[in-house]
Amino acid sequence: MRVHFRTTHRRGHRRIVGALSAVLLGTAGATALPAAARTPEAPAPSDTTRTTSTAEAARLPDELAKTPPMGFNNWNSTQCRAEFNEEMVKGIADLFLDKGLKDAGYEFVNLDDCWALPERDENGKLVPDPKRFPHGIKSVADYVHSKGLKFGIYTSAGTKTCNENGFPGGLGHEMSDAQQFADWGVDYLKYDNCNNQGVDAKERYRTMRDALKATGRPIVYSICEWGENKPWEWASDVGHLWRTTGDISDTWSSMLSLLKQNLPLAPHAGPGHWNDPDMLEVGNGGMTDTEYRSHFSLWAMMSAPLLIGSDLRKATPATFEILANSDVIALDQDALGKQATVLAADSGRWTIVKELANGDRAVALFNETDQPQRITTTAEDIGLPRADRYRLRDLWQHRDHHTTGDISATVPPHGTTVYRAAADPHRAARVQQVRSPGTGWSFAPPLM
């Protein structure tokens, strides 16, 4: 979450990470190295990571977030404005059912900052703002649950939350706050990073993890420390997802920057522990529908949480069409849980590949540039077995066609063509071992 009094720090962080990503991935275009020269963009799992994986089984036996969470968060559309209130939250829950979003997989209706009063009560408990939530938080959670959905809430791992009004944070109140959330029926906690008093991030986030577990209620735990402490290296036994970036804004450049920061972190994502490049901006009006389709496609390819950030009460039919694309959602929710990797990037033409549980491959042909681009790859290059013919499903056109091996499209500016590709089972040749696309691959920094 970004707020005015934190803006300088957060934007500075984004510039630094963005500059690093530009070197690694090449903002003007990069070329994949030959196979013998490729080195991992993100470090391969170390002995520490393997130990963490063992610890994860012990620390997270709850089977939560086995696929990336899907739902809604109000921040991108309302921030702390007056329209963030009980009526809005209930209206979003209603629309999840009325517009088929629940059936598409969306289940969490989450509050962000500004739901509480600035002071705790005499017992140290959090107090919902009676103007925004006149019936209290439990009443809203009960309403969301009555729709067959789940309810989420927000606080910060500091003395205050991120808003300039200084709502109470969870630092030093972890056990009490966690129990209060559980008593209200909370199913998801977003835990931010403001006003943390310099306390070590691992300590702060583990303390709340233990407090949540002590309640006995299954609560998905979202770590939101903006990637500052590389949570992908230590948080797989702490939370179910962690932010890898600063805050998104509703612009093409912001979305592109966060994409490039998150793509290299693929080795660290998987069932129950996800890289989170922040919430969706689809429908908020700052990008074109073509750009929003790219945003949604690329987040799904990266196995990112899909948290709607627009006020669905004002959404256009095009917004609902993007958010409810079941073919694209299926990539995000694939049981294998493999984040996509970059197969090639050249002068703003990207080929991004995702391995799927049934052996299919998803391939996103993404055009970063301002001109139409022809982007081409092959079935063999994306990791499919050799066959006489392959089936391609265009996930935005919702059409199937066949190819003998070439996979290509003329992609409009800022557009993305997404195919689901498989060897035709009726004409497949003997399966031969082929290389897995992109695993641990990276790009050479541009020559200076």
HEC assignment per residue over the chain: CCCHHHHHHHHHHHHHHHHHHHHHHCCCCCCECCHHHCCCCCCCCCHHHHHHHHHHHHHCCCCCCCCCCEEEECHHHHCCCCCCCHHHHHHHHHHHHHCCHHHHCCCEEECCCCCECCCCCCCCCCCECCCCCCCHHHHHHHHHHHCCCEEEEEEECCCECCCCCCCECCCCCHHHHHHHHHHHCCCEEEEECCCCCCCCHHHHHHHHHHHHHHHCCCCEEEECCCCCCCHHHCCCCCCCEEECCCCCCCCHHHHHHHHHHHHHHHHHCECCEEEECCCCCCCCCCCCHHHHHHHHHHHHHCCCCEEECCCHHHCCHHHHHHHCCHHHHHHHCCCCCCCCEEEEEECCEEEEEEECCCCCEEEEEEECCCCCEEEEEECCCCCCCCCCCEEEEECCCCEEEEECCEEEEEECCCCEEEEEEEECCCCCCCCCCCCCCCCCCCECCCCC
Domain boundaries, the chain: 47-332
**Residue type at 35 in one-letter notation:** A
Please give the pLDDT value at position 414. Answer: 98
- Counting as low any pLDDT under 50, the low residues of the chain are 2-58, 60-61, 428-448
Cα–chain center distance at 86: 25
Task: List, for residues 1-56, the tens digit of each pLDDT value.
Answer: 544 333 333 333 333 333 333 333 443 333 332 222 222 333 333 333 333 333 44
pTM of the predicted protein model: 0.85
Q: Which residues are catalytic?
A: 192, 247
Please give the pLDDT value at position 151. Answer: 99
CA distances from 12 to 158, 171, 243, 262, 281 (A): 20, 25, 16, 17, 21
Q: Report the C-alpha gap between 227 and 242 in whole angstroms.
A: 8
Q: Token pair 């957060």 is at which residue? A: 10
Provide CATH code, domain 47-332. Answer: 3.20.20.70
Residue 435 class from Cβ within 10 Å (0-12 exposed, 13-18 middle, 19+ buried)?
Answer: exposed
Q: Report the C-alpha gap between 208 and 214 in whole angstroms.
A: 10
Nearest to 183 by CA among 237, 219, 154, 156: 219
